[in-house]
Amino acid sequence: MTEGNFVDFVKIYAQSGNGGAGSTHLHREKFIEKGGPDGGDGGRGGNVILRGSANLWTLFHLKFNKHTRAGHGGSGSKNTSTGADGEDKYIEVPLGTIVRDAETNEIILEITENGEEKILLKGGMGGLGNWHFRTSTNQTPRFSQPGMPGLENWFLLELKVLADVGLVGFPNAGKSTLLSVITSAKPKIADYPFTTLKPNLGIVAYRNFQSFVVADIPGIIEGAAEGKGLGLRFLRHIERNSILLFLVPADSADISKEYHILLNELKLHNPELLDKNRLLAISKSDMLDDELKSEIEATLPNDLPHLFISSLANKGLTKLKDKLWSLLND
């Protein structure tokens, strides 16, 4: 999927169906001149329903299809026949989609499982026919209820990608290169910052036909939590990752400092991110000898597991997969 086709934020309009009107019919039949009321109820209006689909990775399909309207309920008829229910309308969304009220920004619901269905807007109730209003003193009521109107609103749909591992690092740290080597994903790779403008997902094939998903998040810069660089447009995608894989290049002036800057940006965005498992991968380490590695290790936090890898030289990648798998299954 190209970057232009990845849409993680869209505004849509939805309208549920009106309920059908109840009937005021009076029973008429040969040899029965004054039959009682037999008007049926109106059908309910159609619902607008969100349904999760594991086959979708983006909200792109809603970018040019922003209006959804459910069907109206049918009117009741004679012989206490109920009108037909309005047609429900389904909006399929990728897993990890959050729905907000466009006016209040309040979170209404979220979809996280394949096939999960949640009603976004309920259809209006159908009106009662005059059959319900007969009494001993009013045996031929000539009135019924109108159907209830449907609901309408504007909503904000926001996607937070669901992945097992999120790649976190400064621009041009080698995240896209790593993703392209350990998965079959083909992200854009270049030697300038902010090459990646949208999250990329890749599936890592592990032993015994097992696998896990890695997300390449666009590079973080200092001040990202306040909106600098790509700001909050990408930080929210990290919230759904089980493991945070910090990637810092070996030629960095201060690896430990870069790691703590990245960690601080995550903390400013959402302190709960610090509760996730963390792993530091020092990329481009094919240029390091054992002495330099020892010097770097002496500057790293003691409680942070780390690995030396090289995507281009294919060094340490098997060990990296093993470590990630172990963390995922602890």
Q: Where are the domains of the chain?
A: 3-159, 165-329
Give the residue-averaged pLDDT of 206-210.
84
Given this structure, which CATH class describes domain 3-159?
mainly beta
In whole angstroms, what is the distance from residue 84 CA to residue 180 CA? 53
Sequence-separated (6 or more) residues with CB below 8 Å from residue 326 = none
In whole angstroms, what is the distance from residue 321 CA to residue 179 CA? 12
Of 17-21, 36-40, 49-53, 224-228, the one with minimum mean pLDDT is 224-228
In whole angstroms, what is the distance from residue 114 CA to residue 255 CA? 40
Q: At what angle do helices 255-269 and 290-299 cross, to 10 degrees?
A: 40
Strands (E), 123-210: 152-159, 165-168, 200-205
3-class DSSP state for residue 42?
coil
Residue with more model confidence, 238 or 152:
152
Tens-digit pLDDT profile for residues 38-61: 999 999 999 999 999 988 878 888
Instruction: Tell me what pLDDT residue 221 has.
Output: 55
Give the residue-averaged pLDDT of 153-174.
84
pLDDT value at 219 more than 80 = no
Superfamily grouping for domain 165-329:
P-loop containing nucleotide triphosphate hydrolases (3.40.50.300)
In whole angstroms, what is the distance from residue 140 CA to residue 264 CA? 75
pLDDT value at 232 more than 80 = no
Amino acid in the structure at residue 238: I
Strands (E), 162-208: 165-168, 200-205
pLDDT band at 5 (very low <50, low <70, confident <90, very high): low
pLDDT value at 193 more than 70 = no
Instruction: Tell me what pLDDT residue 225 has.
Output: 44
Residue with more model confidence, 7 or 24:
24
- The single residue listed with the structure tokens 């890592």 is 204
The distance in angstroms from the start CA to the end CA of the chain is 32
Sequence-separated (6 or more) residues with CB below 8 Å from residue 233 = 8, 218
In whole angstroms, what is the distance from residue 247 CA to residue 214 CA? 13
- The single residue listed with the structure tokens 């090289």 is 310
Helix residue ranges, H only, the chain: 175-182, 232-235, 255-269, 290-299, 317-329
pLDDT band at 169 (very low <50, low <70, confident <90, very high): confident
- The single residue listed with the structure tokens 């807007």 is 121
- The single residue listed with the structure tokens 């703590």 is 260
Helix, strand, coil percent values for the chain (each to nearest 5): 25, 25, 50
The percent of residues above 90 in pLDDT, for the chain, comes to 38
Residue 56 dihedral angles phi and psi, to the nearest 5°? -105, 140
pLDDT value at 188 more than 60 = no
